[in-house]
Structure 1
Amino acid sequence: MVQMALDIENLEVSYGNIRALKGINIKVPPGSIVALLGANGAGKTTTLKAISGIVATRGGRIKLFNSDITNTPAEKITALGVIQSPEGRQVFPDLTVEENLRIGAFTVKSKAEIKRNHERVYKYFPRLKEREKQMAGTLSGGEQQMLAIARALMASPKVLLLDEPSLGLAPLIVQNIFEIVKEINKEGTTILIVEQNALQTLKIADYAYVLEVGEINMEGKASELIQDKRLIEAYLGGH
């Protein structure tokens, strides 16, 4: 049996009386890009928060390379190599680009590894290199998104969680960011991406799940789902 990078079994999360996740199953093979698609309020961000240890689960299991990490504290999950680039970017506005990146590397002990990661993120995002002394709050939305992903990469993720990387960005910028995500994956990083932008995501993903009100109601190879007109029109407002 293939060992999964992430294996989510019957995951349940509730906020008070509201069942946000109703027993979902997701598998993320090592080296793949898996997408979790769905409209606002479907439970996508809750899924990532449960994996990251930010919200408690009510049932089910989350395994990282066969180790059970369900309800493990967030800082321990980060140390295990599950790193999230959050929705809304959440860069530190009053720190420079360079300082934001250094914060991303706080769990990495090896100076050589930090140096390698630095070189790697500036290769993916040369624009950040040009702006390394600039305050993050003065960057454009697209540049802040690049910084959020770069900061996550500074922690040498085994699994990179991307939460709505296209949110609020112009189509050309989105295309650019998705090409870089594909590149990051080609170099060996496993990625779970949460998105409303179905078309762009299915172009780069290997496999996708569609979440609707806390339940998975469709899944399959991305190359097949992208042909599904019902999916693109009904759920994801694509054309």
Structure 2
Amino acid sequence: MSKQPILEIRDLEVFYGPIKALKNINITVYEGQVVALLGANGAGKTTTLRTLSGIIRPTNGQIIFEGKRIDKLAPEKITSNGISQSPEGRQIFGDLTVEENLKIGAYIVKSKKTLNDNFEKVYNYFPVLKERRNQVASTLSGGEQQMLAIGRALMNNPKVLLLDEPSLGLAPLLVKEILQIVNNIAKDGVTVVIVEQNAAQTLKIADYAYVLEVGNISKEGEGHNLANDSTLAEAYLGTVSN
């Protein structure tokens, strides 16, 4: 693991009108890690991801990616620098085929060879997408649509992958499968920042985790330590089990 963080959030503040959504939060992400952002609805998790990807402008603080500030860059510039987001609710293009959806994710890729390599990489993670590559995306199951959303975010070779609630609405077995694939993606060298309500399962793959509570970081630590934290389990995680 590199000694220098690949991504740092320093004293980040975000306001929605008069409401302070993020209150001077600090997060450090190292290359190849899975870092989880946990907490209840309204805690500031999605706001953090949207600020990282440039959709929301911070009021104060800095976001440092590979040693350079990116908090004033446009979203497309942040994407071309190597940060991709799979948004909450999937937001796939339902009228397009699986392959067309994936191609949209590769809009910054200029080389045809790289594009083909990226297709193969995504199909390797998600073989069902290869089987369904000519199928209209709206006809996919919920789990397949989620795989497509993650696959689309991988199509431009990101260094950091932002995942917002990838398990939302999925059956428990599918949740395990998706999170295992996320773990494999990280092992292959893509750093992952994941927002999840399913904290118990997420902590099994997270190297490090932050718990957000109404815009503050109330707790942080290595994933396995937080999974065994009884006070945290009662407050946020439900039962941490298999």
Distance 1:54 1:85 in 2: 13
**Pairs aligned (count):** 239
Distance 2:156 2:116 in 1: 11
Post-superposition Cα deviations, 1:198-230, rounded to whole Å, max 9, x if no partner, equal 111100010000000000000001111110121
What residue in structure 2 maps to residue 40 of structure 1? 41
Q: Once the 2 structures are TM-superposed, how far is the Cα of residue 113 of structure 1 from its aligned partner?
A: 1.2
Tell me if structure 2 keeps the 8 A contact 1:210–1:219: yes
Distance 1:233 1:156 in 2: 38
Distance 1:221 1:148 in 2: 27
Give 3-state SS (helix, strand or coil) of 2:204's partner: helix
Tell me if structure 2 keeps the 8 A contact 1:39–1:236: no
Pair 1:64-2:70 in alignment: no
Distance 1:59 1:174 in 2: 35
Tell me if structure 2 keeps the 8 A contact 1:7–1:64: yes
Q: Once the 2 structures are TM-superposed, how far is the Cα of residue 117 of structure 1 from its aligned partner?
A: 0.8
Distance 1:159 1:230 in 2: 31
What amino acid is the match of 1:193?
A: I
What residue in structure 2 maps to residue 150 of structure 1? 151
RMSD over aligned CA atoms reads: 1.0
**Structural mapping, 1:1-239, within 5 Å:** 2-239=3-240
Which range moves more in the overlay, 110-119 or 35-44? Answer: 110-119
Tell me if structure 2 keeps the 8 A contact 1:11–1:24: yes
Tell me if structure 2 keeps the 8 A contact 1:11–1:25: yes
Distance 2:235 2:154 in 1: 34
Report the TM-score when normalising by structure 2. Answer: 0.97
Same amino acid, percent of matched pairs: 63
Q: Once the 2 structures are TM-superposed, how far is the Cα of residue 148 of structure 1 from its aligned partner?
A: 0.2
Distance 1:114 1:190 in 2: 21
Tell me if structure 1 keeps the 8 A contact 2:164–2:195: yes
Give 3-state SS (helix, strand or coil) of 1:49's partner: helix
Tell me if structure 2 keeps the 8 A contact 1:198–1:232: no
Tell me if structure 1 keeps the 8 A contact 2:200–2:238: no
Q: Once the 2 structures are TM-superposed, how far is the Cα of residue 238 of structure 1 from its aligned partner?
A: 3.3
Tell me if structure 2 keeps the 8 A contact 1:8–1:62: yes
Which range moves more in the overlay, 200-209 or 229-238? Answer: 229-238
Which range moves more in the overlay, 78-87 or 109-118? Answer: 109-118
Distance 1:49 1:26 in 2: 15
Distance 2:165 2:60 in 1: 25
Post-superposition Cα deviations, 1:109-141, rounded to whole Å, max 9, x if no partner, equal 121111111111111101111111111111111
What amino acid is the match of 2:160?
A: V
Ranges in structure 2 where 5+ consecutive residues have no aligned partner: none
Tell me if structure 1 keeps the 8 A contact 2:99–2:134: yes
